[in-house]
Structure 1
Amino acid sequence: MSARNRARANPNQDADEERRLWKEIKDKAKDVDVMVARSNDIGHEILKAETQQAALLDADKPSDPVLDELLEKLYRENVKICEEVSQIVEGKSNDTNLLDSINILAGLREASQEHAAQMQASQSHRSASGKLSRAPKKVSGKPGSAIAVTTEEIDDTSAAPSPRINLGPRLTAKEKTSRSGSIATTREASVKIEDGAESVASSADGTSTAAGPSKGSSSNRPSNRLVLRLNEVVFCRHDMKSANPKNLPEGEGILCRVTAVIGEGKQRRYEVQDADTLGEPPPPQRASVAQLLQIPESNKGLQDLPAKKQVIAQYPDTTTFYKAEVSEPWKAKDIANDKGIMVRLIFQEDVEAREVERRFVLLDGK
């Protein structure tokens, strides 16, 4: 006999477990709703700051360092929120995530309904055969004995009703998408109490993964969601957590091209490939939005770099980015001069300064 058809010994215990799961689901959903609301607020702040920065650039004025620092802070905070939401909704850890809790609760409710249907059918059969007839009233008018009430009736009335779960097709266990190499940025759940009309419905359509474009492209894409095109040039930071400890990659990351855009909207994923055109290219790899940073198409309007500024930059004649320090100040207003687009840097473990095009010099916001 399968576990599905086996009678449950203690309906009260199952009802308590269902109530506990329901409370856990509501608490997690409330936490996610708070994060989504904060992410939406960050999106408005990013759009406002990018608009102000774009206005300065359109007026041929230098970029505002205060706005640049604010944008970096907002980008990092939004990425962190998206990762936390993803961990709560479908994170892989020892703790039960939100989707697992919903599926478990749905299974318990299905088993409860089957058990109730079996008991009802059993009672109907016994009633038809006369086994559940009430005791006759006495002539004196005193109520008859209540001993005739069966244990099945007691069990049915003792188990308190628990919330019914309606699972949408996107939350079934079979259709949970793989999260390898990507940040999940969405949550869709619809959980409602049948009798109390209480519901928890949340969607992270407004949640934005703001791994943010470089400052020079903020005027071209005033959006807090990183959206890349096919063949677009990006910086891809190494994922040290999944790297082989015996064969760690060099530097901080590599220059890549987007070779595939997988999915749409909040389910969008990217595959990237080393931008080196010499020799046989390595196979494409899947990258999370948090690893990617757009390389500006132009050097115009990029942030000034003071001396001693810590950056990561593309090492000359390679596609690898290393940590470096600005040796001479670079100003956007001097871009029209000879070598105005080049920044003089001293890379780690180097002695002599080297020149790198400004758009391949990124702020080290790790």
Structure 2
Amino acid sequence: MSSRGSQRRGPNRNSEIGEHGEELGMWKDIKDKIPGAADAFNESSQHVLEIHNQEKLMAEKRKNGTLTAEDHNELDRLCRKGVKLNELASQNIAETIEKLKVLRAVQKAKEDQQEANTSRAAAQRAKESAAAASSLYDFDGAGDSPVPSPNPGLPRRMGGGSKGDRDSVPPRLDRSTPAAKAGSAEPQSGPASSSSRSKQTFAKDDEVAFKPKPMSNEQTDWILGIVQDVRGDGKSRRYRVLDADVDENGHQKDFRTSASSMILIPRDGTILPPLETGKTVLALYPNTTTFYKAEVMGMDGDGKVNLKFEGEESSNTMQAVTRRHVVEYRG
């Protein structure tokens, strides 16, 4: 897992130039010219002092009766030069301000276009979702398996593979290899835990960790999502969850799932108890939207949990994760 840092996911995968080409070029041009504008202003200010000194000298000579025409010519020369320096400084500052206005206008236009595109895409997804809602929520008797919403234009490769569009980490460890460390107890699942999960209910806008149903034989990860809709009651209650990940086109996927495939993430500001050292948990890996198995190494003074993620046990790497993003372990 040491290569996680070089495999971040989501919309920041484009190069800086590719994503901000026009604006970046304009900003660099402005930054290159700002020192020149500052130098012109400083030179103009320094020249004002020279004029002041010349006037002071002339006042003394006038008292002594030694004032000459050459003194007047020197003052005239300084004043003429000062006018030119002031005009140059004013022009440089005005040009810089104008370039900043243009840059802001370009950025504003881009933001407006992105907002319009997002609104159109959201409206289209809502239309498709409404048309397919009845069939999507018609689960069979088993009833607890999440069903990804059909969206052929946005394929998703799950399982943490290096070719997936969730590129937070390298390929997963071999699931057949025991990964639990000595002294850490693996949580046990059974009828009691399954029953408590089935009784858990979620509400719209709840933040959750959820595990999509695999589309093939690949493993799927626990990922960060937000509950968008709740349908039905009791055992027939089903949820629509929006994936927190946004791809480079600004798209997000939504899934149909049930309570047994979700873990509630406490709301921000919730007071949570500390976790005991050695406990096995699921935690949101820093700068990703994916949860991974980890072992608690302790708590820090900022309310974060110090963790060693599975696959990083052999190194000294330790990650600090916000307490509310550390939840119960489920395989």
Compute the TM-score of the two structures, normalised by the length of structure 1: 0.35
Q: Report which of the two structures shows the higher radius of gyration computed on alpha carbons.
A: 2
